[in-house]
Chains A and B, each alone.
Chain A
């Protein structure tokens, strides 16, 4: 078919409609180039260099920040193992069996308390974190220490002869009774402290008692409580108050002590 040979320069546009008159070919097609083809140039070295860089960075990123591809690690830089230090990743599930309360408490401490009070228990005077090592509150009766941990502390307070008060301690009762008890047990026997252990039941009872108490305690609140006041229900519980020199570090105080008469305890401030 030679429909287009005698084409005049000036071809009117066609309206195809139903006409399939193939003699009349639209001018656009006539002037069109051929359908696209592909050349075969080789890859340039620069491009291969870019590929290598992309693969390197992409791969490195993937390796570094994948939290070992576990479904449990929400944080990119960590590995969800059992014993992990303080920090964002420290929230991995911790197996609780076969550990003593102090050992459990140590983990709780590392995850929550060490940030301010330091792993050494020495705190930081400049930042306003009192020490726990050798502190009167930690070493004395369990009541005051438990009050502080449960409800937090603010305002001026004197610990080991030094003034603190620029920092505010948040309440930690949301950790749950077991963890509060464990961390108190831990800190009361660590760093040379000689306070006795604290049980979950004691904390539960304290929680009930403090349920309506406003936010945190202050220095005067604590001073109103005798230094050797213990929480009822522990080993020291029913005994009349005495300088609490119970050094029983590792003994799990799970005994079901009868609910002690809190007669010796002062009413809550």
Chain B
């Protein structure tokens, strides 16, 4: 080949071509999306996350959580993400997602943590898997701590991971204003999603959005029956926090194998402090039994970073329907013939 200049021009042109195709043109197509809203201009989705959740995202990134966890749900024709139920969730278990992820889900995410590997489950909807009373709610004390029940009228004693109330309206995870509603099964909450027609599961799932609830400020009507509110499905309630609740996340971060023997997740003990119990045990102390439990008179509490991280996890919820994406159809033998035969 002769000629320096044609060589240089050719080299630059080929990269320019791919940059145009894979970066610039997609930016024109999907680079300036707005959140979706309904006809009245309400029900905006998605919304930017709260301050604590954003900080939590930074911590998630700094500690490389995205190297094992993805945050994207693939379409039902492409993989079985939507069919997959979450491990260890109360019955009926929530799925990894009701629908596939779409570009609009990520418009306020920076970085967009789609992930590349799944040594751990997908987290796109992990916030939705939380027990209904807890969605976007702060960590509740573990029910095994009767010494410190939550006073009924008190908004959760910890200014913890709760997004500021002003956001509650806009948050798709509006706390069900029916705070005093029955603290039982998550199944008690209004359903939203996916029950397969072949009934392995019965009814409901946790709902993202109790639809007609105007979001009031979180001042629950005092109900005397309001003991420790954390619901406890599956295992014996005194032993484990409710799956995917904030308390569960804290314990999972601190000692993953105390909740799931098969877990391959590293422990993040450096997010937690071990300190002496001062007077009363803290409301957000981790209730660890058995190996690794703090001794008598000691407790393990999350640092602010841990709380932010859990706030971020609890905010991950893509279940809000999008106009451009079909909700998961029943997976049974369906004549939906238009499934493309992907090569």
A/B contact in complex, CB under 8 angstroms? yes
Query: Which A residues fall within an 8 A CB radius of B?
Result: 61, 64-65, 70-72, 74-78, 84-93, 111-112, 115-116, 118, 127-129, 151-152, 154, 166-171, 173-176, 178, 204, 207-208, 210-216
What distance in Å separates the Cβ of A87 from its nearest Cβ neighbour in chain B? 3
| Complex A-B, nearest 10 residue pairs according to Cβ-Cβ distance, in ascending order | A77-B340, A87-B338, A71-B29, A215-B204, A215-B203, A167-B197, A91-B326, A215-B191, A208-B212, A87-B336
Q: Would you list 16 pairs from A and B whose C-beta atoms are within 8 A, ordered by A residue?
A: A74-B75, A74-B100, A77-B341, A77-B342, A78-B340, A84-B338, A88-B75, A93-B324, A154-B199, A168-B197, A168-B201, A169-B195, A169-B197, A174-B192, A176-B321, A211-B190
CB nearest neighbor in B for A170: B195
Q: When the two chains form their complex, are residues A61 and B212 in contact, meaning their CB atoms are under 8 A apart?
A: no
Q: Decide if the interface of chain B is mainly helix, strand, loop or mixed.
A: loop
Chain A: CB-nearest residue to B335? A115
Contact with A along B45-65 (1 / 0, CB 8 A): 000000000000000000000
CB–CB B342/A65 < 8 A? yes
Separation of A165 and B270 alpha carbons in the complex (Å): 52
Contact of B197 among A85, A91, A128, A216 (CB under 8 A): A128
The reply to whether the CB of B30 lies closer than 8 angstroms to some CB of chain A is yes
Known: A88-B77, A211-B212, A214-B188. A168 touches B336 (CB 8 A): no
**Do A91 and B26 form a contact, CB below 8 Å, given A127-B197, A212-B178?**
no
Q: Are A88 and B335 in contact (CB under 8 A)?
A: no
CB distance from A126 to the nearest CB of B (A): 10
Chain B contacts with A in 197-242, Cβ cutoff 8 A: 197-199, 201-205, 210-213
Given contacts A78-B338, A154-B199, A169-B197, whether A115 and B330 have CB atoms under 8 Å apart is yes
Q: Mark B7-34, 1 if CB is under 8 A from A, else 0.
A: 0000000000000000000101110000
Closest to B208 in A: A174
Check A152 against B332 for contact (C-beta < 8 Å).
Answer: no
Contacts of B28 in A (CB 8 A): 71
Decide yes or no: A75 and B340 within 8 Å by CB, A152-B195, A166-B198 being known contacts.
Answer: yes
B325 within 8 A of A: yes
Residue in A87, A175, A204 whose CB lies within 8 Å of B339:
A87
Annotate B95-106 by CB proximity to A: 1 below 8 A, 0 otherwise.
000001011000
Q: A129-B197, A211-B210 are in contact. Are A88 and B324 (CB under 8 A)?
A: no
Interface size on B, residues (CB 8 A): 55
- Name which residue of chain A comes closest to B77, CB basis: A88
Does B333 have its Cβ within 8 Å of any Cβ on chain A?
yes
Q: Check if A207 sits within 8 Å of B211, measured CB to CB.
A: yes
- Interface residue? B5 (CB, 8 A): no
- Flag if B212 contacts A207 (CB, 8 Å): yes
Verify A168–B323 contact, CB threshold 8 A: no
Is there an interface contact between A88 and B76, defined as CB atoms closer than 8 Å? Answer: yes
Min distance, Cβ A49 to any Cβ of chain B, angstroms: 21
Contacts of A72 in B (CB 8 A): 324
How far is A74 from B77 in the complex, measured between Cα atoms in Å? 12
Contact of A91 among B39, B196, B325 (CB under 8 A): B325
- CB-nearest residue of chain B to A175: B321
- The verdict on B282 contacting chain A, using a C-beta distance below 8 Å, is no
Q: A85 to B190: give the CA distance in the assembly, Å.
A: 30
A76 to B75, CA, bound (A): 11
Among A74, A111, A208, chain B packs the most CB atoms within 10 A around the CB of A74
Given contacts A87-B338, A167-B199, contact A211 B211 (CB under 8 A): yes
Query: Which B residues touch A111, using CB under 8 A?
Result: 326
Q: In whole Å, how far is A111's beta carbon from the nearest beta carbon of chain B?
A: 6
CA of A215 to CA of B204 in the docked complex: distance in angstroms? 5
B195 and A74 contacting across the interface, CB-CB below 8 Å: no
A215 to chain B, nearest CB (A): 3
Contact of B202 among A74, A154, A173 (CB under 8 A): A154
Residues of B within 8 A of A176 (CB): 38, 321
Q: Which residue from B187, B323, B335 sits with its C-beta under 8 Å from A214?
A: B187
Q: Which of B76, B196, B211 contacts A168 (CB 8 A)?
A: B196
Closest to B101 in A: A74
Shortest Cβ gap from A192 to chain B (Å)? 22
Roughly how many angstroms separate A88 CA and B25 CA in the complex, as a whole number? 25
Docked CA distance A77–B190 (Å): 35
